[in-house]
Amino acid sequence: MNGQVIERCECLEWATVDSQMTMLTGHHENCEKRKSDRNALSELILDLVEGMEDWGNLEDGIPTEAWESYTLAKFFLTGEIVEGDNMKVNV
């Protein structure tokens, strides 16, 4: 994530019942290289928030349909309560 290239770990060939988190983290649940699920999810949410902010700054702000999701994600990451409605985000 964050534009980095992830090397394919051999653990991805192991059988799993948690394929979604394995794909997100890039490692099997029993692999010693696997980050915590919370860290992996935080990185994904950060990438999404940054993408929404970039998009919003190029357009007329973050679309109304995505505003609530954006504010919740931003609060999850930073504890910051974003005020306003479909505003342009200055980053």
B/e letters for 49-61, b = 16+ CB within 10 Å, e = fewer, are beebbeebeeeeb
Structure confidence at residue 5 as a pLDDT band (50, 70, 90)? low
Q: Is residue 3 part of a domain?
A: no
How far apart are alpha carbons 28 and 10 in whole angstroms? Answer: 9
- Residue span of the structural domain in which 70 resides: 10-78
Q: Is residue 86 part of a domain?
A: no
Residues 6-53 have pLDDT tens digits of: 568 888 888 888 888 888 888 888 999 888 888 888 999 999 999 999
Domains in the chain, number: 1
Residues 67-78 have pLDDT tens digits of: 999 999 999 988
> In terms of pTM, does the model score above 0.75?
no
Q: Is residue 4 part of a domain?
A: no
Q: Is residue 91 part of a domain?
A: no
Structure confidence at residue 91 as a pLDDT band (50, 70, 90)? very low
